[in-house]
Amino acid sequence: MDILFIADPLSRFKIYKDTTYAMMAEAARRGHTLYTCEPRHLAWTGGAVEASAQRFEMVGDMADSHRETWFMPQEAAPRALTSFGAVLMRKDPPFDMEYVTSTWLLELAERAGARVFNKPQAIRDHSEKLAIGEFPQFVAPTLVTRDPARLRAFHAEHGDVILKPLDGMGGMGVFRVKPDGMNLGSIVEMLSHDGARTVMAQKFIPEIKDGDKRILLIGGEPVPYSLARIPQGSEVRGNLAAGGLGVAQPLTPRDREIADTLAPVLAARGLLLVGLDAIGDWLTEVNVTSPTCFREIMDQTGFDVAAMFIDALEHAIG
Catalytic residue numbers?
Answer: 129, 164, 214, 229, 237, 277, 285, 287
Task: Give the phi and the psi of residue 143 in degrees, each rounded to 5.
Answer: -135, 135
Do residues 52 and 37 make contact, with C-beta atoms less than 8 angstroms apart? Answer: yes
Q: Which amino acid is at 188?
A: V
What's the chain's length in residues? 318
Residue 35 CB neighbours (<10 A): 21
Residues 290, 275: Cα–Cα separation, whole Å: 8
Residues 184, 190: Cα–Cα separation, whole Å: 10
